Amino acid sequence: MVGAQVEHVISILLVTLVSAAVVNAYQRDGLTGLRKKGEFIEAFKRRLPGRAKQGATALILVQIENWHALANSNKAIANRAMKDLATALLRAPVPHEMAARFEADAIILWKRCADDDAALKHHLELLQQRASECLAAKRLTAKIGAVRMGASADKAIRHVILATDRAALQASKIQICDAAFEAWLDMQARLKTRIETAVEQDLLVVLHQPIVDMISGKIAGTEALLRLRAEDGSFVSPVQFIPLAEQSGAIDEIGAHVLRTAARDNQMMRAAGLPSDLFISVNVAPPQIHAWSQLDAAVADALKSDTPLKLEVTESSAAQDESMHDKLVSLRDKGAKLAIDDFGTGYSSLERLGDMPFDTVKIDIAFTRKIATDAGFAMIDAIVRMATASGKDVIIEGIETAEQHALALKAGIRLGQGYHFGKPASVSDLITARAEGLPRQIRSHF
């Protein structure tokens, strides 16, 4: 009888232990052992009101840049990087209230912190140092966003994500959600509203920058570069509004509009006597490719009118996933040429270049700026060799000086783009420049 009772107690204990383990495994991230996102948010909201009375805290998000591209090519190294990062961050001196794997590539920390921005900044710099110590060997970097608690839990989570996105643009890769950042968020909200109605209200302007044959000096094509007209009539840079259009989904309509305008402009330029095979390069954002139908239709329209169309896709988006790859191949099969933009700034390695469905490699301005150094020239030389060996042509971006022009030719590059040859201009200015012999740099290409 006693034996049966003991057995019963043991079986209850076992069930309890096993279910605790199952719950734990369910709530914990298998790789880092940290909480999962949903559980973190739920616990954060529950504990915040009580914790607020005991002193200041901050929410900190640490995100590995380009982690997904690395995970696509080497999951084991990407996972090791994430695990090392988790260990390094939890080792930091200020104890954390809670930590979680917030996204596949990001860890969130809720920590005690001093009540001023300077102390918080100092702490974030320490975390950044810890992160770079463990990521540098894998050629990875981290960006960090932080928000001091005070706002509601929902607002804090929203703002820490936005601050982390913004951190990518800072030299320190750190962004605190302070008064200046909040003012910037307000400005972004206004810009977002403007972007959403931009096509309808005719607020978009497509400029064209010459891409020239650097040997003959003749124009070979143009890149369509978009501008948004601000309330005061000035132009807003695409670097500011394209990410907002991507977030809101407005990019599909805007992207299709750019493609149609660019195709029409290309016809005008060719009709006005510019080379009959003048190509037009149009930038395409990853969400346009994912959403597909508007892009597909606009590309088909451009090709129907015999526009020599090149689509530029950034390196990191090209490396995103299988479906992206298949869609790029489908665009190419239709007759569009594909260029990999800003090459060298993402994570794809030179050896993978041959496998990618691209016709053209655009070398990023960051390399051009170093072309006059031995190491910089050697880098460009390696890219050119690799591209050429895999049957791709090369365009070098950001040529600003005669010296860079000469060195690009020495590296065997024929096509170049940059202020040395011509800044982005309206289609009518390009055509008039040809007719009237306006600025020397533009005139020399016709």
Q: How far is the CB of 309 from Mg ion (least distance, A)?
A: 14
Looking at beta carbons only, is 346 or 418 nearer to ligand C2E? 418
Q: How far is the CB of 172 from ligand C2E (least distance, A)?
A: 22
AA identity, residue 86: A
Contact flag: residue 342 with Mg ion (CB under 5 A): yes
In the list ligand C2E, Mg ion, none, the entry touching 258 (Cβ below 5 to 8 angstroms by class) is ligand C2E
In the list Mg ion, ligand C2E, none, the entry touching 422 (Cβ below 5 to 8 angstroms by class) is none
- For tokens 């090209």, what's the residue? 318
Q: Among 147, 341, 347, 361, which residue sits at the site for ligand C2E (rule: CB under 6 A)?
A: 341
Count of Cβ atoms closer than 10 Å to residue 366 Cβ: 14
Contact flag: residue 242 with ligand C2E (CB under 6 A): yes
In the list Mg ion, ligand C2E, none, the entry touching 419 (Cβ below 5 to 8 angstroms by class) is ligand C2E
Q: Cα dist. 428→109, 203, 433, 435 in Å?
A: 54, 18, 8, 10
Q: What is the distance between the terminal CA atoms of the chain, rounded to a whole angstrom?
A: 102
Looking at beta carbons only, is 193 or 237 nearer to Mg ion? 237
| 58: alpha, beta or left? (left if phi > 0; alpha if psi -120 to 50) | beta
Residues 267-296 that bind ligand C2E (CB under 6 A): 283-285
Q: How far is the CB of 189 from ligand C2E (least distance, A)?
A: 21
Handedness of CA 191, 197, 203, 205 (dihedral sign): positive
Handedness of CA 346, 397, 247, 266 (dihedral sign): negative
Residues 185-214: x where in contact with Mg ion by CB under 5 A, - otherwise, as a string: ------------------------------
Contact flag: residue 342 with ligand C2E (CB under 6 A): yes
Closest CA to 332 of 310, 314, 354: 310
Q: How far is the CB of 409 from ligand C2E (least distance, A)?
A: 16
The helix (H) or strand (E) run that includes residue 131 is helix 117-135
Dihedral Cα 281, 286, 292, 297, nearest 10 deg:
-20
Q: Among 63, 175, 283, 348, which residue sits at the site for Mg ion (rule: CB under 5 A)?
A: 283
In the list Mg ion, ligand C2E, none, the entry touching 252 (Cβ below 5 to 8 angstroms by class) is none
Q: Among 58, 341, 367, 368, which residue sits at the site for Mg ion (rule: CB under 5 A)?
A: 341
DSSP 39-69: HHHHHHHHHHHHHHTT--EEEEEEEETTHHH
Residues 347-386: x where in contact with ligand C2E by CB under 6 A, - otherwise, as a string: ------------------x---------------------
Q: With CB under 5 A as the contact rule, which of the stretches 136-144, 159-167, 311-319, 419-427 interacts with Mg ion?
A: 311-319
Q: With CB under 6 A as the contact rule, which of the stretches 89-97, 144-152, 353-361, 414-422 interacts with ligand C2E?
A: 414-422
- Are the CB atoms for 95 and 111 separated by under 8 Å? yes
- Are the CB atoms for 215 and 414 separated by under 8 Å? yes
Q: Among 84, 174, 424, 442, which residue sits at the site for ligand C2E (rule: CB under 6 A)?
A: 424
- Are the CB atoms for 261 and 253 separated by under 8 Å? no
Contact flag: residue 109 with ligand C2E (CB under 6 A): no
Looking at beta carbons only, is 123 or 227 nearer to ligand C2E? 227
Contact flag: residue 239 with ligand C2E (CB under 6 A): yes
Q: With CB under 6 A as the contact rule, which of the stretches 109-117, 174-182, 211-219, 411-419 interacts with ligand C2E?
A: 411-419
Q: Cα dist. 7→2, 17, 79, 123 in Å?
A: 9, 15, 43, 53
Orientation angle between helical segments 251-271 and 293-304, nearest 10 degrees:
10
Q: How far is the CB of 260 from ligand C2E (least distance, A)?
A: 12
- Are the CB atoms for 147 and 120 separated by under 8 Å? no
Looking at beta carbons only, is 11 or 201 nearer to ligand C2E? 201
295, two tokens: 């892009």
Looking at beta carbons only, is 84 or 341 nearer to Mg ion? 341
Q: What backbone phi and psi angles, to 5 degrees, belong to 4? A: -65, -40
286, two tokens: 């990853």
| 83: alpha, beta or left? (left if phi > 0; alpha if psi -120 to 50) | alpha
Contact flag: residue 237 with ligand C2E (CB under 6 A): yes
Q: What backbone phi and psi angles, to 5 degrees, belong to 226? A: -90, 145
Contact flag: residue 315 with Mg ion (CB under 5 A): no
Q: Among 84, 105, 265, 312, which residue sits at the site for Mg ion (rule: CB under 5 A)?
A: 312
C-alpha–C-alpha distance, residues 384 and 236, integer Å: 34
Which positions lie near Mg ion, rule CB under 5 A?
283, 312, 341-342, 397
Which positions lie near ligand C2E, rule CB under 6 A?
209, 225-226, 237-239, 242, 255, 258, 283-285, 312, 341-342, 365, 397-398, 400, 417-419, 424
